[in-house]
């Protein structure tokens, strides 16, 4: 595939990003393209991030590319969305990753700025001998019954009815769930609560649900993948990129348009197109269970949180420069990762959010594209 469309898109996006920054900084172009001496001095500080495991492989990929392009170090630890929110609120990391957007009042209270970064999908995956990827079909209510413990064996009549001709084993259903406070768990239980009133009443949407019955807990997306592979009959939920990387057997789902769909970037893009994220530029709008023949039902946006009132412009520069670089290069680096970019019209508005960072020493940070 030619890179020309990406280069044209990046040039247009660069222009759109610079306009609000220049306006907010009084037209001071030197703040965008700083002298190499100042950039070197402020760029020496390593940037540390922590939080959601859902997008962690992408953030680590961006960090590796950023290091290669600029020589500046960025690290990201997949500790879970709840821990990411806690650490950035305590100013123990430069940015926190979260799949659960904080409401405006909470952002104001914690003096944080929230940036949407990418869109991905949560996928139910199984370990059933002899079953190839996407062969198993599950409706939302049946998946909810499985996760709440109401369906206890894989050859249950409700599952068989959705899968005529598929030989299902008489194995017990072994549920593996997240042990940590997780945005993936919150997104997954939001979907299940939407499609099943019984699940909503019995379990509900939560970043750390109280699952009925006996479940096995594991830390992070990678932890549940390890537990899934360890024993036949297991059911769990992971980000789509783990399905690709680890060649997991995922389930097809019945979407809001009444179509059986498999997880993938086309399904995530369809969910975006049929939501207020695309229609109104509302980055907090739900992508769950959207209309559209291709839409993947469990699609969600992942966010980054940064300090709105850093101690100095110099302290804010490294993380803001990294985020600016991601806005410039992130789309091309998303190709083949199992995630989808935000609509470009929404991305162009995000620079105004970067300009809301107000250092306490009143010295503006340096925004410099690599």
pLDDT averaged over 10-residue windows placed end to end, the chain, 370 residues: 51 54 45 39 74 93 94 95 96 96 96 95 95 88 98 98 94 96 94 98 96 96 95 97 94 97 95 93 92 97 97 94 86 87 80 87 75
DSSP letter assigned to residue 151: -
CB atoms within 10 A of CB 37: 8
Complete domains list, the chain, with CATH: 4-118+302-354 (3.40.190.10), 121-299 (3.40.190.10)
Go through 171-201 and write b for each residue having 16 or more CB atoms within 10 A of its CB, e for each that does not.
bebbbbbbbbbbbbbbbbbbbbbbbbeebbe
Q: Enumerate long-range contacts of 162-169, CB under 8 Å, 24 or more apart.
A: 162/137, 162/138, 163/135, 163/136, 163/137, 166/131, 166/135, 166/136, 167/130, 168/128, 169/128, 169/129, 169/232, 169/233
Counted residue by residue, the chain has a size of 370
Give the phi and the psi of residue 300 in degrees, each rounded to 5.
-150, 160
Check residue 40 and give its pLDDT: 43
Q: What is the pTM of this model?
A: 0.86
Which residues are registered as beta bridge partners of 253?
138, 261
Give the phi and the psi of residue 28 in degrees, each rounded to 5.
-80, 85
């Amino acid at each position: 595939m030619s890179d020309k469309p990406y280069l044209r898109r990046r040039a247009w996006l660069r222009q759109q990003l610079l306009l609000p920054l220049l306006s907010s900084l009084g037209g001071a172009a030197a703040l965008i393209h700083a002298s190499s001496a100042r950039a070197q001095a402020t760029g020496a500080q390593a940037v540390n991030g922590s939080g959601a495991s859902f997008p962690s492989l992408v953030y680590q990929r961006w960090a590796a590319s950023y290091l290669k392009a600029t020589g500046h170090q960025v690290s990201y630890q997949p500790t879970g969305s709840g821990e990411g929110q806690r650490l950035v609120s305590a100013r123990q990391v430069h940015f926190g990753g979260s799949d659960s957007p904080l409401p405006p009042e909470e952002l104001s209270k914690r003096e944080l700025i929230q940036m949407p970064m990418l869109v991905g999908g949560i996928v139910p995956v199984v370990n059933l001998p002899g079953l190839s990827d996407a062969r198993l079909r599950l409706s939302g209510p049946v998946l909810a019954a499985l996760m709440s413990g109401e369906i206890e064996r894989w050859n249950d009549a409700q599952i068989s009815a959705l899968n005529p001709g598929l030989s299902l084993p008489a194995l017990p259903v072994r549920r593996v769930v997240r042990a940590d406070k997780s945005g993936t768990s919150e997104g997954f239980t939001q979907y299940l609560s939407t499609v099943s009133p019984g699940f909503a009443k019995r379990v509900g949407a939560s970043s750390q649900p109280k699952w009925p019955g006996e479940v096995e807990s594991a830390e992070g997306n990678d932890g549940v993948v390890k537990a899934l592979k360890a024993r036949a009959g297991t059911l769990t939920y992971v980000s789509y990129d783990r399905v690709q990387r680890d060649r997991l057997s995922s389930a097809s789902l019945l979407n809001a348009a009444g179509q059986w769909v498999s997880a993938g970037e086309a399904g995530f893009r369809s969910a975006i197109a049929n939501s207020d994220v695309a229609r109104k530029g509302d980055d907090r709008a739900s992508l769950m269970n959207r209309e559209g023949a291709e839409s993947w039902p469990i699609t969600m946006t992942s966010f980054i949180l940064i300090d709105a009132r850093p101690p100095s412009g110099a302290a804010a520069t490294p993380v803001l420069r990294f985020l600016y670089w991601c806005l410039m290069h992130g789309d091309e680096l998303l190709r083949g990762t199992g995630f989808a970019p935000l609509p470009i019209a929404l991305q162009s508005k995000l620079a105004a959010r970067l300009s809301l960072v107000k250092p306490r020493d009143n010295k503006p940070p340096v925004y410099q594209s690599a």
